[in-house]
Amino acid sequence: MKILLLVFLLSLILSVNSGTEAQTNNLPLIPYPERVKQLDGNFILSSKTYIKNSNKKILDYFLSQIKIFTGLQLEIKNESDSKSIIFFRIEKHFSVKNKEAYSLSVTRKEIVITAPDEEGLFRGMQTLFQLIPASIKAEHDGSPVNIPCCKILDEPKFKWRGLMLDCARHFMSVDFIKRYIDILAYYKFNVLHWHLTDDQGWRIEIKKYPKLTQIGAWRKEPDGSTYGGYYTQKDIKEIVAYAKSRFITVVPEIEMPGHCMASLAAYPENSCTGGPFEVPDTWGVFKDVYCAGRDSTFYFLKNILNEVIKLFPGKYIHIGGDEVPKDRWKACPRCQARIKTLGLKNEDGLQSYFIKRISNYLNSKGKHVIGWDEILKGGLAPGAIVESWQGTQGALDAAAQGHYVICSPASHTYLDADPENLDLRIAYSFNPIPKDLPADEQKYILGGEACLWTERAPQETVDRKLFPRLLALSEVFWSDPQDSNFDEFHSRVEMAYDDLNARGIQYGPETKAISFKTSFDEVKKEFTVTIIPGQKDLEIRYTEDGSEPDTLSSLYTSPIIINKTINLKVAAFRKNVYVGKEINLSFVFDKALNANLTLINKYDERYRAGGPNALIDGIRGTDNFRDGLWQGYSGEDFEGIIDLKKETEISKVSPRFLQDAGSWIFMPKDVKVSLSKDGKNYFDEKTITNDVPQKNPDVVLKDFTAEYKNQKARYIKVIGESIKKCPPWHPGAGQDAWLFIDEIVVE
Ligand code: ACM
Ligand code: ZN
């Protein structure tokens, strides 16, 4: 029997072409298997198909997934006379020594998945699920399914293929996490890195310290509402078990010694100063961290970890370690005493001591620690795994010291980044093995992770942040594209869109969905707006009345001519699914259009907009301060004088400012507008005071409108008084604040 099996496997290996040869007419698979041979004909999956006496553990899962994807309720039978059979087989002497490896053989009569382990059978099943046509998944009404005949032999390149979900900044429901576990399984990921604690929320129930969730799981939003949520230990057990049944390890991340404001709000005695603290409602890096000088801090953290260890049976616990400001430790007598007593070099040494002390404890419980690359500073804890996020230096340094590494450089894997800056092509170009890594150290690279930080990604936006770029990383981690053939990959991404639609995944754009160019014709007095699509197959639709574009709005086919004051909104769709970030342009045909503007203070060259006259060019900035329309002033007031060239009746002067506190851009304290006939004597000064809270986390646009009763004037002076320095509560406290202005409308 064994010999027969070996012969079968050998013939399979010999008959299966390499991936490159098969690239002309590829199967709709992501990640693409190592070896694929396409054959003529189809296997017909129908209610007549039987599952043969296969491995029980994964069978229930298989049947339930087939039901979801096709609507078919298959039966298990042992008869061998059936015309249509699916068979899963564990073969201990499988040709490939990797428990995730598998072979999949689809002929007209049978589907056979063979693997050395259940895990390989599970990965092979995902390949089979991907071969079910999207049209079947969309209907899942029990219709027969054509599965193309093929032979596949496959194994992963990297053994760590993860997704980090930050459920601290924004909470994700238990059902949503389970949905993502299924999505991860489908694309052959095997790690869910669950970021459970951070400054803005503590999301894991700890029975010994109930205030962590009573206080730490909730934050007051600037509008007065309360935001939050947490996972009970029961929820966590359910999620961990769900993931386990899908061969996914859940790695919890409990942040220390920084990113812990929510914890300190609940138990301020673990800080250097003693608090009190609130769970912050703003983003950034906070100076208050766990006190490394108090033994009670370690007692507290060990008790927390004792509960964490019980909940997560996996080998790994992530303890963060990133972005730890040393200000409090420098001023804390206890922390300084610790440095002195232990003869540490400085506060970096203290951070290293902190991580080592926790790491030793976790090692004693049979766990390995993972930390972000900052844990390298001051010396690595023995056996610690480094997750390299700041470029690749952390990976190089850790591997040189013989430590294992997970590569997640922000440049290629932080999928919260706008696709404008990290697009599908960039994600696909990622190689977890750094270019400069010596060959004999490559063994230390376990793999990589896609990361989703959620400051700007509440649950309902997660799909569109992750997709389609997660497809690229799935292939990078599993298939390791050698001479990256992006165009070939992209042809499979195009096929994958129907599959994503059928499975209800609300993907976003591959790259900057749409951009625009404008020009103004001085003679005809009209603007021309040209829209430039960033990817194929986009339908571009627009409105001119301020309403949100939808699939029934005007279709863009040629440049749009604008000769009156309107609000132009443009959005991109693909097969009726909204994908594109909207362009929102206000055109104003006002009295200042093409007047002269003299600026008293100079704007910052990085945010010059169109230069000196940009503020009266008839186009108002969008809600993206980088759109090239906003003018930015760093730590300075705005002061400008408009010369209308002749005396003009004025009823309104409306300069617009933008606030984006997370980007250090604040509203002016107030705006003063005054008029003059001669450019020397100004009269009728009006002061419009700001009413937008500085802590508002959103991007806010505000018109500071001065109203006049048909005053006559030639010159208009506008002064926006900057707050100059970021306020004390802000991560940029004391540093220059930005003031952003675009378009001063005169009516
Ligand atoms: C990180 O992005 N602070 C790990
Ligand atoms: Zn301290």
Structure tokens at 699: 């991007």
Atom of ligand 1 nearest to the CA of 323: 3
258 is a domain residue: yes
Q: Is 643 found in the same domain as 571?
A: no
336 CA to centre of ligand 2 in angstroms: 8
173-189 mean pLDDT: 98
Instruction: Judge if the beta carbon of residue 666 lies within 6 A of ligand 1.
Output: no
CB 638 within 8 A of CB 601: yes
Closest ligand relative to 338 C-alpha: 2
Task: Return the best residue to mutate from 254, 286, 323 for the ligand 1 pocket (most ligand atoms within 8 A of CB).
Answer: 323
Domain membership flag for residue 541: yes
The pLDDT of residue 7 is above 50: no
Is the predicted pLDDT of residue 82 greater than 80, yes or no? no
Q: Can you tell me the distance from the alpha carbon of 100 to that of 643, in angstroms, rounded to the nearest whole number?
A: 72
| Domain shared by 143 and 183, yes or no | no
pLDDT at 14: 44
For residue 336, the tally of other CB atoms under 10 A from its CB is 15
Residue 388 has pLDDT above 70, yes or no: yes
| Distance set, CA 220 to CA 82, 229, 460 (Å) | 63, 12, 20
Residue with the smallest CA separation from ligand 1 atom 2 is: 389
For residue 409, how far is its CA from the centre of ligand 1 (angstroms)?
10
Per-residue confidence band for 174, with pLDDT thresholds at 50, 70 and 90: very high
Residues with CB under 5 Å of ion ligand 2 are: 272, 291, 293, 332, 334-335
Of 278, 323, 420, 623, catalytic: 323
Ligand 1 atom closest to the CA of 410, numbered from 1? 2
At 324, give phi and psi (nearest 5°).
-110, 100
* Domain limit, last residue, from 533, 566, 587: 587
For the chain, the first-to-last Cα distance in angstroms comes to 90
pLDDT digits (tens, 9 = 90+) for 542-570: 999 999 999 999 999 999 999 999 999 99
* DSSP symbols for 476-493: HHHT--TT--HHHHHHHH
Cis before 148 (ω within 30): no
- Neighbouring C-beta atoms of residue 3, cutoff 10 Å: 7
Mean pLDDT value across residues 364-384: 96
CATH code for position 10: 3.30.379.10
Active site (annotated) includes residue 140: no
Catalytic member of 259, 318, 403, 412: 259
Q: Kindly state whether residues 444 and 430 are assigned to the same domain.
A: yes
Nearest atom of ligand 1 to the alpha carbon of 389: 4
Q: Tokens for 159?
A: 């053994």
Range of the domain at 347: 160-502
How confident is the model over 267-275, as a mean pLDDT? Answer: 98
- Of 587, 616, 646, the position where a domain reaches its end is 587
Whether 460 and 343 map to the same domain: the answer is yes
Residues 561 and 611 in one domain: no
Residues 408, 354 share a domain: yes
pLDDT, mean of residues 612-625: 88
pLDDT (tens digit per residue) in 566-584:
999 999 998 888 888 788 8
Element housing 500 (H / E): helix 486-502
CA of 590 to the centre of ligand 1 (A): 46
- For residue 83, what pLDDT is reported? 80
Nearest of 176, 364, 201, 340 to residue 283 by alpha carbon: 201
Ligand 2 centroid to residue 573 C-alpha, Å: 53
Nearest ligand for residue 264 CA: 2
DSSP state of 545: B
Six-digit token string for 429:
């170009």
What mean pLDDT do residues 290-295 have?
Answer: 98
Q: Residue 285 is part of a domain; what is its CATH number?
A: 3.20.20.80
Q: Is residue 507 part of a domain?
A: no
Higher pLDDT, 472 or 519: 472
Q: What is the DSSP string of 426-477?
A: HHHT--SS-TT--GGGGGGEEEEEEEE--TT--GGGHHHHHTTHHHHHHHHH
- CA–CA distances in Å: residue 501 to residues 136, 176, 556, 639: 12, 17, 24, 51
What is the number of the ligand 1 atom nearest to the C-alpha of 320? Answer: 4
Q: Is the CB of 414 under 6 A from ligand 1?
A: no
Can you give the pLDDT at residue 35? 95
pLDDT in tens, 214-227: 999 999 998 899 99
Yes or no: say if 712 and 677 are a contact pair by the CB < 8 Å rule.
yes
Average pLDDT (736-743) is 96
Does the annotation mark 420 as catalytic? no
673-704 pLDDT, tens digit each: 999 999 999 999 999 999 999 999 889 999 99
- Is 259 known to be catalytic? yes
CATH number at residue 614: 2.60.120.260
Q: How many distinct structural domains can be found in the chain?
A: 4
Residues in Cβ contact with 382 at an 8 Å cutoff, skipping those fewer than 6 apart: 356, 359, 363
**Cβ(389) – ligand 1 distance below 6 Å:** yes
Q: Which ligand is nearest to the CA of 284?
A: 1
- Confidence at residue 710, expressed as pLDDT on a 0 to 100 scale: 87
DSSP state, residue 725: B
The answer to whether the CB of 301 falls within 8 A of the CB of 308 is no
Specify the CATH number for the domain of residue 542. 2.60.40
Domain-ending residue, one of 105, 138, 154: 154
Ligand nearest, relative to CA of residue 454: 1
Confidence class of residue 294 from pLDDT cuts 50, 70 and 90? very high
By percentage, how much of the chain surpasses pLDDT 70?
Answer: 95
**Contacts of 406 by beta carbon, 8 Å cutoff, 6+ apart:** 160, 162, 370, 385, 386, 387, 388, 446, 447, 448, 449
Name the closest ligand to CA 451.
Answer: 1
pLDDT per residue as tens digits for the range 100-123: 999 999 999 999 999 999 999 999
- How far is Cα 120 from Cα 16, in angstroms, rounded to an integer? 18
Strand 554-555 to 577-578 pairing: unpaired
Instruction: Please state the atom number of ligand 1 nearest to the C-alpha of residue 372.
Output: 4
Cα separation, 622 vs 580, whole angstroms: 15
Among 259, 372, 413, residue to substitute to test ligand 1 (most atoms within 8 Å of Cβ) = 372
Mean pLDDT (whole number) for 13-28: 53
Distance 267 CA to ligand 2 centre (A): 14
What is the DSSP secondary-structure string of 247-283? T-EEEEEEEESSS-HHHHHH-GGGBSS-------SS-
Residues 280 and 344 in one domain: yes
In the predicted structure, residue 15 carries a pLDDT above the cut 80? no
Q: What angle do CA 594, 599, 601 make, to 5 degrees?
A: 160
Instruction: Tell me the β-bridge partners of 216.
Output: none
Would you say the CB of residue 455 lies under 6 angstroms from ligand 1? no
537 and 440 in a common domain: no
Q: Is the CB of 238 under 6 A from ligand 1?
A: no
* pLDDT value of residue 6: 46
* Cα gap 747→113, rounded to integer Å: 73
Query: Do 572 and 630 fall into the same domain?
Result: no
On whether the CB atoms of residues 131 and 17 are closer than 8 A, the answer is no
3-state class (DSSP) for residue 101:
coil
- Looking at per-residue confidence, does 714 or 75 come out higher? 714
Q: Cis omega (within 30 of 0) on the bond before 257?
A: yes
CB 389 within 8 A of CB 453: no
Q: Is residue 497 part of a domain?
A: yes
One domain, residues 390 and 434: yes
Q: Find out whether 461 and 467 touch, Cβ atoms under 8 Å.
A: no
- Closest-CA residue, ligand 1 atom 3, reads 322
331 band by pLDDT with thresholds 50, 70 and 90: very high
Compute the distance between CA of residue 378 and CA of residue 359 in angstroms, rounded to an integer: 15
125 shares its domain with 196: no
Could you identify the atom of ligand 1 that is nearest to the CA of residue 387?
Answer: 4
- 585: enclosing H helix or E strand: strand 583-587
Please state, rounded to an integer, the average pLDDT across all residues of the chain: 93
Ligand 1 lined by 322 (C-beta under 6 Å): yes
What is the predicted pLDDT for the residue at 3? Answer: 44
pLDDT above 90 covers a percentage of the chain that reads: 83
What's the rounded mean pLDDT across residues 43-72? 90
* pTM of this structure: 0.85
- DSSP states of 306-318: HHHHHH--SSEEE
Q: From ligand 2's centre to the CA of 388, what distance in Å?
A: 27
Catalytic residue among 34, 100, 117, 198: 198
Distance 333 CA to ligand 2 centre (A): 7
Quick: pLDDT tens for 483-535. Answer: 668 999 999 999 999 999 999 999 999 998 898 888 889 889 999 999 999 88
Q: 124 and 244 share a domain?
A: no
